[in-house]
Structure 1
Amino acid sequence: MLLAALYCLLWSFRTSAGHFPRACASSKSLMEKECCPPWAGDGSPCGRLSGRGSCQDDVILSTAPLGPQFPFTGVDDRESWPSIFYNRTCQCFGNFMGFNCGSCKFGFRGPRCTERRLLVRRNIFDLSVPEKNKFLAYLTLAKHTTSPDYVIPTGTYGQMNHGTTPLFNDVSVYDLFVWMHYYVSRDTLLGDSEVWRDIDFAHEAPGFLPWHRLFLLLWEQEIQKLTGDENFTIPYWDWRDAENCEVCTDEYMGGRNPANPNLLSPASFFSSWQIICSRLEEYNSRQALCNGTSEGPLLRNPGNHDKARTPRLPSSADVEFCLSLTQYESGSMDKAANFSFRNTLEGFASPLTGIADASQSSMHNALHIYMNGTMSQVPGSANDPIFLLHHSFVDSIFEQWLRKYHPLQDVYPEANAPIGHNRESYMVPFIPLYRNGDFFISSKDLGYDYSYLQDSEPDIFQDYIKPYLEQARRIWPWLTGAAVVGSVLTAVLGGLTSLLCRRKRNQLPEEKQPLLMEKEDYHNVLYQSHL
């Protein structure tokens, strides 16, 4: 009854979510390749009259070389995102953000986005019963509320006749994010039922962690707007050392249906949910995109999976090994990378050795395989709300690594990563635009933290010295040159001084001679360094 009451109450709020803005889905916008909607506050594009932003003349795309994984050009709408659809979008000033600069950057709020805030994501088992019920009600509301600001494309740009015949559908707030996860990971359609499968703009490469970090932040932001609850955060499920799916109960994310182990218990809110974007092979054969049509109930059968591929859920020791890896990325920067923190955490490399192993699915991947259902196939995995709890905890491990090593942004690969994963590449399919490197920073800089990380002792010295290290890195070539010149001058002056001292010493009386001779004259007396 309490959940039902909360659900009804929340229907009165409205939202704005994230992908193709409804205001930019017209043939005029597509043919002009411009997405600069007016801000409601002053009616001007991007809130220009209020100093919030302006319509960027040309979207500046990264020209860094890509890895060899995708051997095509001009066959996929996601290449050089978002230039196939738009080459002019809003460029927001200061702390403003959004497709029309009507929102605040992550970590800021207020009418002028000047108030800093830090929200805390908590363990779902630490929530009180009212807090947990509120979270479940928010999920249900998002599932049944049509996004007023965003739509999803149901055809490629070519199928839209290059913008003259737009193909878009409405979608709920929750399913909008399901669709985005499908769209970013789908295969490339090559025509005549042919596809290219070795492509993913959010997985199996450096962008895996930044992309999902942004995905969660946007999802969190949309729930805040939908409900009016500015302090809402996504809880996490700490699955370290778990022996089973602890959240798979009717009290939380839905128990097992006693009549059919592949379905959820009828006592769960989620048993009535319909999933979308789960039939990848059907879309490929029709050379079509997921259009948001319902495709059946949510499936989940935790623990009845392929145990040869995934023998167990991740342990605390597995997480600690991941955190011991100092390299964020390595080698080919894909699922074959060895000793890569990203690849090991994602689950393509062993959490015992750091060596890529195609026969095993561990860490992040292990949870998806273990759920043995909708969550186990990449494109439609976000249909299952456990996806949010799982990725919230994965993000917290990423945050631990960032705090442990304090990497500069250039640690994130600038070039030669798989398509869409270079540091300056815009992340598919987000509008407004965000680069991968923008989210290779501490969560605190993005306005959130994790409850179990707040107990850690902060490294004040590292936080203090980091900006100075960044400055030193930028001027390092000049410092090196100065050091070389200084060394030469020191050697010359030292030689002259030594020569003068020797001449002077030879003129001194015996009682005024130094007790130790010069190094070159008496080298056996001095201790030598082997550095």
Structure 2
Amino acid sequence: MIRRNFLTDADAAQKYIDGVRRLKDPAQFPWPGQDGLSIYDSFVFWHHQSMMLMTPPTQSDRNAAHSGPSFLPWHRYFLITLEGLLRQAVDDIEFRIPYWDWNADAELPEPVTSPIWSNANLGQFAGSDWRVRLEMSLRTGDLRRTDRTLQRALGDAGRLPTRTGVRMVIRDQAAYDTSPFSSSSPGGVRNLLEGWIGNERIHNSVHVWVGGDMSLSSSPNDPVFFLHHCNVDRIWAAWQERHPDSPYLPDMSAPDTLQFHRVDDALYSIYEDTVTPGDMVDYRRYYEYDTVSDLTELQT
């Protein structure tokens, strides 16, 4: 039950490719009640809806899964849910989503030449057989039906975060999150890792660097979304190893305006199960990573 590096484990990489292709096929994995859409497409809908649910609705920053404390546990839950479906698709109960170590690619003279973008790997999804069926309208912000190829703009904007910068965040940030628990929070690993503050702009910068569909609320259309967020989750796991006594915040004493973000609140879901941030804190209940030591070497 190990999550491994996409580029160093060919078996995990191929199973991921095969799995998402099967989940994307409405004939094999239909989304019940949604003609012509697949279970994979439901994750595009789910992610978009999470971004449209402002918490509270009187502001336009924090939503049910971003710009607030639940960013990390919500995406951990999101990944685990897809992971369970992928295990069915590839018929392997041990399968776990691999991660994209974009810190390594940041060290390349031209990160766009990384083998992850080859046609044998993620480059193949830019072909005509991978269809985007739901997209965010740039005019209205609504999700709409479409039928087109995947769009990317690798390296046109943003940059990939450096390993040194990530290590410094893990080493120096002892708090999980800080008031006002939004993109304006002056510290805490959540806001630094999400990328609203700090030199690296970690998570956000990768979305911008990939560009195209990854820059929209419908970003799970690109299969790299899940590999990217798996690496974000790995950084959170490394931080948890470094700061084992630092609790998830906020607790239930926080006001109702922080609904969906308090430790025992239900995370926003399109499914009937109830999962809380507290349920997501101990990642070892679900998987481990092949390594986090590459992220924790700055210990001084």
Does the alignment reach a TM-score above 0.5? yes
Tell me what 2:70 maps to. 207
From the superposition, tell whether residues 456 and 300 of structure 1 become closer, same or farther in structure 2 (CA, over 3 Å): closer
Query: Structure 1 CA distance, aligned partners of 2:287 and 2:182?
Result: 29
Tell me what 1:136 maps to. 17
State the SS of the aligned residue for 1:278: strand
Q: Does 1:271 align with 2:271?
A: no
Tell me what 2:165 maps to. 318
Verify the 8 A CA contact 1:205 1:335 in the aligned structure 2: yes
Residue 385 (structure 1) shift: 0.6
Q: Does 1:301 align with 2:153?
A: yes
Tell me what 2:83 maps to. 220
Give the gaps of 5 or more residues in structure 2.
Answer: none
Verify the 8 A CA contact 1:187 1:197 in the aligned structure 2: no
Q: How does 1:448-463 map to 2 (within 5 A)?
A: 448-453=287-292
From the superposition, tell whether residues 302 and 269 of structure 1 become closer, same or farther in structure 2 (CA, over 3 Å): closer
Q: How does 1:372-383 map to 2 (within 5 A)?
A: 372-377=211-216, 379-383=217-221
Tell me what 2:120 maps to. 251
State the SS of the aligned residue for 1:124: coil
Moved beyond 4 Å, runs of 4+: 146-150, 281-284, 408-412, 454-457
> Which of 181, 202, 213 in structure 1 is aligned with 2:47?
181
Query: Structure 1 CA distance, aligned partners of 2:27 and 2:48?
Result: 19
Residue 269 (structure 1) shift: 4.6
State the SS of the aligned residue for 1:392: helix
Verify the 8 A CA contact 1:314 1:363 in the aligned structure 2: yes
Verify the 8 A CA contact 1:275 1:298 in the aligned structure 2: yes
Tell me what 1:158 maps to. none
> Which of 412, 422, 435 in structure 1 is aligned with 2:276?
435
Verify the 8 A CA contact 1:178 1:380 in the aligned structure 2: yes
> Which of 385, 403, 412 in structure 1 is aligned with 2:241?
403
Q: Does 1:329 align with 2:155?
A: no
RMSD: 2.7
Verify the 8 A CA contact 2:214 2:222 in the aligned structure 1: yes
Output one character per residue of 1:135-173: Cα deviation in whole Å (capped at 9) or x when no partner.
Answer: 322221111145768547xxxxxxxxxxxxxxx656312
Verify the 8 A CA contact 1:187 1:198 in the aligned structure 2: no
> Which of 188, 194, 214 in structure 2 is aligned with 1:340?
188
From the superposition, tell whether residues 447 and 372 of structure 1 become closer, same or farther in structure 2 (CA, over 3 Å): closer
Verify the 8 A CA contact 2:235 2:292 in the aligned structure 1: no
Output one character per residue of 1:412-447: Cα deviation in whole Å (capped at 9) or x when no partner.
Answer: 443246442122221112421111221122x21x23
Query: Structure 2 CA distance, aligned partners of 1:456 and 1:233?
Result: 20
State the SS of the aligned residue for 1:275: strand
* The structure with more helix, counted as a fraction of residues: 2
Per the normalisation by structure 1, the TM-score is: 0.49
From the superposition, tell whether residues 396 and 235 of structure 1 become closer, same or farther in structure 2 (CA, over 3 Å): same
Tell me what 2:207 maps to. 368
Q: Which amino acid aligns with 1:271?
A: G
**Percent of residue pairs bearing the same amino acid type:** 27
Query: Structure 2 CA distance, aligned partners of 1:221 and 1:367?
Result: 25
State the SS of the aligned residue for 2:103: coil
Output one character per residue of 1:286-312: Cα deviation in whole Å (capped at 9) or x when no partner.
Answer: xxx636x3342110010112xxxx3x3
Q: Does 1:391 align with 2:229?
A: yes
State the SS of the aligned residue for 2:156: coil
Output one character per residue of 1:193-220: Cα deviation in whole Å (capped at 9) or x when no partner.
Answer: xx97445210000000000001111100
Residue 376 (structure 1) shift: 1.3
Q: Does 1:290 align with 2:143?
A: yes
State the SS of the aligned residue for 2:153: coil
Output one character per residue of 1:42-70: Cα deviation in whole Å (capped at 9) or x when no partner.
Answer: xxxxxxxxxxxxxxxxxxxxxxxxxxxxx
Residue 280 (structure 1) shift: 3.6
Query: Structure 2 CA distance, aligned partners of 1:372 and 1:303?
Result: 8
From the superposition, tell whether residues 302 and 131 of structure 1 become closer, same or farther in structure 2 (CA, over 3 Å): same
Verify the 8 A CA contact 1:146 1:173 in the aligned structure 2: no
Larger radius of gyration: 1
Residue 390 (structure 1) shift: 0.6
Query: Structure 2 CA distance, aligned partners of 1:351 and 1:388?
Result: 24
Verify the 8 A CA contact 2:154 2:210 in the aligned structure 1: yes
Query: Structure 1 CA distance, aligned partners of 2:186 and 2:198?
Result: 9
Verify the 8 A CA contact 1:409 1:437 in the aligned structure 2: no
Output one character per residue of 1:59-118: Cα deviation in whole Å (capped at 9) or x when no partner.
Answer: xxxxxxxxxxxxxxxxxxxxxxxxxxxxxxxxxxxxxxxxxxxxxxxxxxxxxxxxxxxx
Residue 275 (structure 1) shift: 1.5
State the SS of the aligned residue for 2:42: helix
Per the normalisation by structure 2, the TM-score is: 0.84
Query: Structure 1 CA distance, aligned partners of 2:118 and 2:48?
Result: 27
Q: How does 1:119-134 map to 2 (within 5 A)?
A: 119-128=1-10, 131-134=12-15
Query: Structure 2 CA distance, aligned partners of 1:364 and 1:319?
Result: 11
Query: Structure 1 CA distance, aligned partners of 2:127 and 2:30?
Result: 28
Query: Structure 2 CA distance, aligned partners of 1:388 and 1:418?
Result: 26
Residue 408 (structure 1) shift: 6.0
Tell me what 1:516 maps to. none
Verify the 8 A CA contact 2:166 2:295 in the aligned structure 1: no
Residue 345 (structure 1) shift: 0.5
Aligned length: 282
